[in-house]
Amino acid sequence: MKPADFEIDSTDPSFVSDIDRNRNELFSSFEWTDPKAQLQNRVKGIELDRYFRLTESERIGIRDTIRLNVSATPYYLSLSDPNDPNCPIRRMIVPRESESVFSPEESADPLHEERLSPVRGLTHMYPDRVLLFTNHECSVYCRHCMRGRKVSDSKERMTSEDLELCFEYIRSHPEIRDVVLSGGDPLNLNDTKIDRILENLESIEHVRICRLGTRNPVTLPFRITKELCGILESHNTDRLSIFCNTQFNHAKECTPEAKEAILRLLKAGVSVGNQCVLLKGVNDSGETMLELHKKLLEMRVRAYYMYDPELIPGSRGFRTPLAKGIEIVDYMRGKIAGMGIPSFVNDLPGGGGKITLGPDWYLGYYKPERLHVFRSALRGTYHVSSEPQDSTFEESYPEISSETWEGIRSSCYGVRGKLE
């Protein structure tokens, strides 16, 4: 046993732990803003042990995960807390033991993307839109990734021939107007390949929209270089409109570097929206989501979706009750502008497509007085508005009974104030 006066006091402010030292060494060992150097210095698998005080559950998770590879850029890792296992960024980087369990309700492909794939790497679920899997690689392998069956797996690499077959399919289907580039992360391809893909899409007469699904503004903002933005801008033309949907999940991710990346995309004419994923222990509270979306608006990113997590293998640690998402939307309404409130969506298992879910602000229709009754999200009060006299839709509304109406009538507000 060490003599007492040689014992390390980790509460002493001058104390520097091995973990802090390792982090400092890593963060100063290369050109920080060089995206290639960030990728070359990614921390993988059990190397995380050098940068986090890992819990037993995390060690088992890293060893036994049934999901995608474990890897993070030093930039993204620098946003995490080495000592707190509940740090939201750490939860998205470091697997836990729950990631090693394949639950009976889960499936590798819950949305049936493969069944709806006419050619390798392309999913045609909606009539006018396709999803093009351009690349199996990402800067960080997020533990909650819904496409973990393919992402990080080199067997899923898309060759030029695969991509050509996808373009041929799109060319021969004039109903396709909108192509989502996803993966993996399309921005982990090099500039030349991105240029070629966009050139191909731009040359197809009926393709008018291209959406980039990328997490690089969050996990490696330095990838959004002037050169890349120049390429995006050159294809963002009268022929083709380019949008970017990114995925910030927590306010800690909204850094000055991320903001700079977003501003570069905006300057290239690329409109940026956010599709967050509702994740237990990361962002499953109204206040956390509100803070995230306030920060996003400050970065000029509009809210788009808040996804209910998919039933993918090993995802039980992240899943929240359906009611949680509805509660969050209810909480946010009235506290931030509408463009900062995401639609809560469930991508239906079995390839049913997305549906939106929301709080019950519409109580129903009181037919004798042709009135719709609503609950105010802002004040919790009841409000009415009338159906047009010539409406032929009266039968399509859920009806409110006379008893319910009599019970709330005196507390309802209409255009002239409280009802008499």
Among 90, 211, 215, 250, binds ligand SF4 (CB under 6 A): 215
Q: Is 390 helix (H, G, I), strand (E, B) or coil?
A: coil
Cα distance between residue 329 and residue 357, in whole Å? 9
Q: How far is CA 329 from the centre of its chain?
A: 16
Answer yes or no whether residue 307 interacts with ligand SF4 by CB under 6 A: no
* Stretch in the footprint of ligand SF4 (CB under 6 A) among 168-176, 181-189, 198-206, 351-359: 181-189
**Coil, helix or strand at residue 313:** coil
Q: How far apart (Å, rounded) are the C-alpha atoms in residues 198 and 194?
A: 6
User: Which member of 95, 183, 217, 340 binds ligand SF4 (CB under 6 A)?
Assistant: 183
**Residues touching ligand SF4: how many (CB under 6 A)?**
10
Q: What is residue 316's DSSP assignment?
A: T
- Closer residue to ligand SF4, CB minimum distance, 215 or 293: 215
Query: Quick one: which segment of 16-24, 52-60, 135-143, 391-399 binds ligand SF4 (CB under 6 A)?
Result: 135-143
The yes or no reply on residue 158 touching ligand SF4 (CB under 6 A) is no
Q: Which residues pair with 210 in a beta bridge?
A: 179, 242
Q: Which stretch binds ligand SF4 (CB under 6 A): 136-144, 227-235, 248-256, 404-412?
A: 136-144
Q: Is 151 in the site for ligand SF4 (CB under 6 A)?
A: yes
Least distance to ligand SF4, CB of residue 323, Å:
24
Q: Does 149 bind ligand SF4 (CB under 6 A)?
A: no
User: Rounded distance, CA 344 to CA 276, Å?
Assistant: 10
Q: Which residues are annotated as a binding site for [4Fe-4S] cluster?
A: 138, 142, 145
333 secondary structure, DSSP code: B
46 Cβ neighbours under 8 A, 6+ residues apart: 59, 62, 63
In whole angstroms, how close is the CB of 420 to ligand SF4 at the nearest point? Answer: 55
Q: Which residues lie below 8 Å from residue 194, measured CB to CB, with a gap of 6+?
A: 186, 187, 228, 231, 232
* One-letter amino acid of 137: E
Which residue's CB is nearer to ligand SF4, number 68 or number 400? 68
SS3 245: strand
User: Which residue from 70, 79, 145, 189 is in contact with ligand SF4, where contact means CB under 6 A?
Assistant: 145
- Least Å distance between CB 168 and ligand SF4? 25
| Least separation in angstroms between CB 403 and ligand SF4 | 49
CA distance 314 to 281: 15
Q: Which residues bind ligand SF4 (CB under 6 A)?
A: 138, 141-142, 145, 147, 151, 183-185, 215
